[in-house]
Amino acid sequence: MDSSLPTSVDATLALLEHQDYVAERRLATAVFLALKLARPLFLEGEAGVGKTEIAKVLATGLARPLVRLQCYEGLDTAAAVYEWNYPRQMIEIRLAEAAGGVERSELSHDIFTTRFLLRRPLLQALSPDDDGAPPVLLIDELDRADEPFEAYLLEVLSDFQVTIPELGTIRAQKPPIVVITSNRTREIHDAIKRRCLYHWLDYPDAQRELAIVARKCPAASASLAREVVAFTQKLRTLDLFKAPGIAETLDWAEALVALDRITLDPQTVADTLGALLKYQDDVAAITPDVATKLVREAQSQAA
């Protein structure tokens, strides 16, 4: 095992906490095992619960470069793995033709070399430019990509290699640390999941969310932080299209601090709901009566 990696679950918890990531022990165990066994870590859960942040924290905490592949519909190998620098190749061809005396077969061979290769995130992660520690590869929101791209990923995740027809197979000397996230807008194929260690990242309980707010938004008073967390926890029990995640809780706390609020009231809630809820139907569902009831319950629970 790489000596720079944590040697226990407790050390992993400490690493995450040192980067202000408040993790439960089950998550720290999954991260530790992924590092120790050199297996990709597949994190699934609702948006805004801290999946992407894990990769960022590992990169910072382990002093590794972060290579991020943001997935989207239509993602292909040209954007994810590599493509040839065609303009530069054309210039090379024109210069060779102008100079004369160059065989076409020799020219064809010369323009398909690594100096004309544009490395995209996956190839960057498998072939770092120096001899340092391998990077953290974040494959973010894989559920947004098409299924054929998943099939392509199998070679990368199985053997940490990619095949370029003109150059052959490029294999990582040291596998990157791989973190894959999914918001579960669709199911990811079992073949991908089998190659990973899996962890479902859920909304935090009130105690852990309060610790997160205290770490990430220290300007909020302890009483306001308790009210914010209690209110957000209550919101998540309602029938909303999209319940607020941790990211929204932090945004709301920061907004309330910016407005110099020291406690919640129904009017302030109505004025700042856009920091918590991102769909008009959800905002409309929090009527003045509902807001008053939730504020009262949150303040009672936070007292």
Task: Grade residue 156 by pLDDT with cuts at 50, 70 and 90.
Answer: confident
Check if the beta carbon of residue 178 is closer than 8 Å to that of residue 107: no
Q: What is the pLDDT of residues 41-92, one digit of tens each?
A: 999 999 989 999 999 999 999 999 999 999 999 999 889 999 988 888 888 7
Task: Please tell me whether residue 42 adopts helix, strand or coil conformation.
Answer: strand
- Residue 274 DSSP class: G
* Sequence-distant (≥ 6) Cβ neighbours of residue 86 within 8 angstroms: none
Residue 162 pairs in a beta bridge with 170
pLDDT for residue 216: 93
pLDDT for residue 88: 85
For residues 208, 212, 214 and 220, what is the CA-based torsion angle, rounded to 10 degrees? -110
As a whole number of angstroms, the distance between CA 88 and CA 103 comes to 19
Q: Which helix (H) or strand (E) holds 100?
A: none
Query: What is the Cβ-side half-sphere exposure of residue 170, based on CA atoms within 13 angstroms?
Result: 18
- Residue 73 DSSP class: T
Q: What is the pLDDT of residues 222-273, one digit of tens each?
A: 999 999 999 999 999 999 999 999 999 999 999 999 999 999 999 999 999 9
Task: Please tell me whether residue 199 adopts helix, strand or coil conformation.
Answer: strand
pLDDT for residue 115: 84
pLDDT for residue 300: 93
- DSSP states of 192-257 as a string? HHHTSEEEE-PPPPHHHHHHHHHHH-TTS-HHHHHHHHHHHHHHTTS--SS---HHHHHHHHHHHH
160 pLDDT higher than 60: yes
Q: What is the pLDDT of residues 88-145, one digit of tens each?
A: 888 877 777 676 655 555 555 577 888 888 999 999 999 866 667 899 999 999 999 9
How many residues are given for the chain?
A: 303
pTM of the predicted protein model: 0.88
Higher pLDDT, 285 or 303: 285
For residues 217, 220, 223 and 225, what is the CA-based torsion angle, rounded to 10 degrees? -30
As a whole number of angstroms, the distance between CA 32 and CA 38 comes to 10
Q: Which helix (H) or strand (E) holds 181?
A: strand 177-182
pLDDT for residue 109: 59
Check if the beta carbon of residue 40 is closer than 8 Å to that of residue 34: yes
152 pLDDT higher than 70: yes
Task: Grade residue 277 by pLDDT with cuts at 50, 70 and 90.
Answer: very high
